Structure 1
Amino acid sequence: MASTKTKSRPLVLCGPSGSGKSTFLSKLMTDFPNRFGFSVSHTTRKPRPGEKEGDHYHFTDRESIKKAIDAGDFIESAEFSGNIYGTSKKAVETVCEKGKICILDIDIQGVKQVRNTHLQPWYIFLMPPSLEVLENRLKSRNTETEKSLKLRLETAAKEIEYGTTPGNFDFIVINDNLEHAYSQLKGFIEGNVLKEENNINDVQIA
């Protein structure tokens, strides 16, 4: 696949499951509909209630996604709780072709892989005020088993350790209060990401 150029550095939004990424993404897309576009990830897990194909995820099977990953069609991929997740080059290109800044919602494994590409994104880490608060948020979803909840909390602890290590992220947002946290995120984006948009050299997608 040929490299695609964009004048805008992508924006990576990373954080533990339950940290509020989906809510923040929705608010960003509402406030900046013409500036940002979301790269729709692929996953082998089954759709949750309300999730739509091509909107929330591209739902696929293990054989198909592994074949595409091996062919070099993905920027990043990771496996969690028996399911594979990944961001395809095409998903990012689709956003860039519209002249928008591409937002990638990925985990720590994905972040480490993206660092080895030519994307040069902004890295933002979203975290809960504590693991206790995160546990309550995950329980309120009513989508976790005792086993999956334990695994998510163990993973979250490792993600927070990596996310708060100096130099790993450009900005860290503690989601203790939704409106306050979003205000901080929006301020950083307006003062840095959007401000730089017209002064960046072309970057390539892998």
Structure 2
Amino acid sequence: GTGDYYREALLVWLDADTLIRSETNERKSLDDFAKAFFGVEDGVWEARPYTFEDVVETLNAVHPHDWATFLRTRLDAVGPDARAPLDGIERAGWRLTYVDELTPAEKRMLGGWAGDFQYSLGFSLSGTRITGVRWGSPAFDQGLGAGWELIAVGDRVGSADALRAAVTAAKTGADPIRVVVKRGDEFRTLDFDYHGGLRYPRLVRIEGARDRLADIFAPRNR
């Protein structure tokens, strides 16, 4: 989606924050960068332009590191060279994993009409309408995009519940998941040869590692 770069930037800065914390024995953090970079003229509201070199210089003033390479590697990589910047999560004492069940809170939030299949088939549903497609996913490879409507799943009327059941059944079967989608006057029948089951991201604690997420989220003034 158009906001993916914002979400990924959160991971890039988490990576930087946890690196600073770990290499300074928790004495410094991204807070120090923010104070130096944004707190130049307190009370002045005019926009102040800056360059990539300004960011690197301020980071180096907080903690010496090859920040230019650090940032360029994460910002410029595309295609096979690109990977999610997850080092900050593990350095924070957590590990990304996937489960096949929504939490009770997620179930309440989605209700019975919405569906999150971003990490399985690769799209999300609002009612029966596809609202987003994950880059490089099975849905992306099939040419789907936001705006298509889910008409049928196998021999059932299209719905999030019907699709969840089909994805779950395909995990132990050999048949592809067949769906019918519609956009305007165009209908398409698609077969997803996907057998990985439902997948929802979760963070789990790394035993014995410092919980730097707790440090980051802790109030600054007690």
Q: TM-score range by the shorter chain?
A: under 0.3
Computing the radius of gyration from Cα coordinates, the structure with the larger value is: 2
User: Greater relative contact order: 1 or 2 (C-alpha under 8 angstroms, separation 6 or more)?
Assistant: 1
What's the TM-score, normalizing by structure 1? 0.22
What's the TM-score, normalizing by structure 2? 0.21
